[in-house]
Amino acid sequence: MKAFDVLPLNEWFPGGNEPLIIAGPCSAESEDQVMATARELKKTGKVRVYRAGIWKPRTRPGEFEGHGAEALKWLQRVKEETGFPVTCEVATAKHVEESLEAGVDILWVGARTTVNPFSVQEIADALKGVDIPVMIKNPVNPDLSLWIGGIERLYRAGINKLVAIHRGFSSFEKSAFRNEPMWEMAINLKTQHPELPIIVDPSHICGNRELLPYISQKAMDLDMQGLMIESHINPATAWTDAKQQVTPEALAQLVGNLTLRKPESQNVEFVSKLEQLRQNIDKLDDQIIQKMAERMQIVEKIGEYKRDNDVTILQVNRWEEIMEKRTSFAKALNLSEAFTHRLLDLIHSESIRRQTEIMNTKPVEHA
């Protein structure tokens, strides 16, 4: 995939290798709340950008939908008094226009907007010829192409200071998280577009304060470039997302407790040891692939027998037996049940796919 010619984060937002920490309330509720939160966050010395929701996309109508343009004045005051660059979410061309007029420094596109190419295009069109950094959250559904498509729309409008925000994905399954982290999505984006900075939004992944440190550390361990965390002067009284906001003090503690790691080390001993271990992995991976190919050859042979004898592909009893035996063997070797199940499921799907192909080809006629 073609790389985006974006500016590295460090070039437009100097800060060494420190993670970019963006914090502030979910919603701008009042001038006092916005200012008090900003002053406390400033005192911590841990935050580099101040955020606040001005227009709030709510699931049901009739709930607090943000103060709109009026609250932009409060952000201006935050800038003047604290020196923080400020950022807010925009969902329409009008939001963009009003934010630019108010001197908002960085814009972000929310998850519910990224799902809709019409909306992202409207924002991109409103930004043509404007030199401003834009951050774009992943769409609510786990669709990497849609996320990249949104980034591309902004990029084509001439925005070259772009940041992707990983905020997790909606899921039917009940879990400890408000939005499933599905880290593989961010990892795939990073792999396809290493030039694009990615930051993580632990507040929306977690939906509660308790899990924030875990997700924030994980983001650092996965080499993400920053965090956007909701912080409120008095979270218990927050009008929106009260459970996931933290006080400025708690935010400072969370950031202070992060272990920062670097993607590489120049230490000679480390490098040679790593090289040795990677050679072992290379050997084992080759063996795994070879064994997998051997297994599939047998599966194909079985497929031919089944076709010639009109026997179904799916053999539930046999498959159950395999699952049970392999899982307990794997467990004894310290492999997790979840991993073993996923691996076996993948193998089974491939077996079925191959046998389906064989079933649909005629046997070679023997004279």
CB of residue 67 to ligand PRE, shortest distance in Å: 59
* Smallest gap from residue 350 Cβ to ligand PRE (A): 8
Residues 306, 311, 316: CA angle, nearest 5 degrees: 105
Least distance between ligand PRE and beta carbon 319 (Å): 4
Q: How far is the CB of 358 from ligand PRE (least distance, A)?
A: 10
Question: Quick one: 42 or 341, whose CB is closer to ligand PRE?
Answer: 341
Q: CB–CB of 28/54 below 8 Å? A: yes
Which span sits near ligand PRE by CB under 6 A: 48-56, 99-107, 177-185, 345-353?
A: 345-353
Asked if 51 and 87 count as a contact pair (C-beta separation under 8 A), the reply is yes
User: Measured from the CB atom, is 287 or 297 closer to ligand PRE?
Assistant: 297
Of 38, 113, 112, 110, whose CA–CA distance to 71 is shortest? Answer: 38
| 64 or 305: CB nearest ligand PRE | 305
Closest distance of CB 354 from ligand PRE, Å: 9
Sign of the alpha-carbon torsion through 97, 102, 106, 112: negative
CB of residue 285 to ligand PRE, shortest distance in Å: 21
The pair of structure tokens assigned to 334 is 């310290």
Are 120 and 95 in contact, with CB atoms under 8 Å apart? no
Decide whether 143 or 304 has the Cβ nearer to ligand PRE.
304
Amino acid at 11: E
Tokens (6 digits) for 69: 């343009």
Task: Find the DSSP H helices in 193-315.
Answer: 202-206, 212-221, 248-256, 268-308
CB-wise, 236 or 316, nearer to ligand PRE?
A: 316
Write out the binding residues for ligand PRE, residues 283-342 only, by CB under 6 A. 299, 302, 313-315, 318-319, 322
CB of 352 to ligand PRE, least distance (A): 6
Number of amino acids touching ligand PRE (CB under 6 A): 11
Beta carbon of residue 346, minimum distance to ligand PRE (angstroms, whole number): 11
| C-alpha separations of 29 from 102, 170, 251 in Å | 18, 26, 19
What is the Cβ-side half-sphere exposure of residue 159, based on CA atoms within 13 angstroms?
28
Please tell me the total number of residues recorded for the chain in this structure. 367
d(CA 306, CA 301): 9
Near ligand PRE by CB under 6 A, which window of 11-19, 126-134, 334-342, 347-355?
A: 347-355
Q: Which residues lie below 8 Å from residue 359, measured CB to CB, with a gap of 6+?
A: 303, 306, 307, 313
Comparison of 184 and 324: residue with beta carbon closer to ligand PRE: 324
Toward ligand PRE, which CB reaches closer, 23 or 299? 299
- CB 316 → ligand PRE: shortest distance, Å? 7
- Token output for 282: 């290379």
Return the number of the residue (113 or 351) whose C-beta is nearest ligand PRE.
351
Binding of ligand PRE by 351 (CB under 6 A):
yes
**Alpha carbon separation from 36 to 41, 42, 86 (Å, rounded):** 9, 10, 15
Residue found by looking up tokens 């031919």 in the block: 304
Q: Does 260 bind ligand PRE (CB under 6 A)?
A: no
Question: Which residue is at the shortest CB distance from ligand PRE?
Answer: 351
Supply angle C-alpha 162, 55, 119, rounded to 5. Answer: 55
Residue with Cβ nearer ligand PRE (152 or 304) = 304
- Cβ closest to ligand PRE, residue 260 vs residue 314: 314
Rounded to the nearest whole angstrom, what is the least distance from the CB of residue 347 to ligand PRE in the complex?
6
Position 278 contacts ligand PRE (CB under 6 A): no
Phi, psi of 308 (to 5 degrees): -70, -20
Q: What angle do CA 321, 324, 325 make, to 5 degrees?
A: 85
Site for ligand PRE, rule CB under 6 A: 299, 302, 313-315, 318-319, 322, 348, 351-352
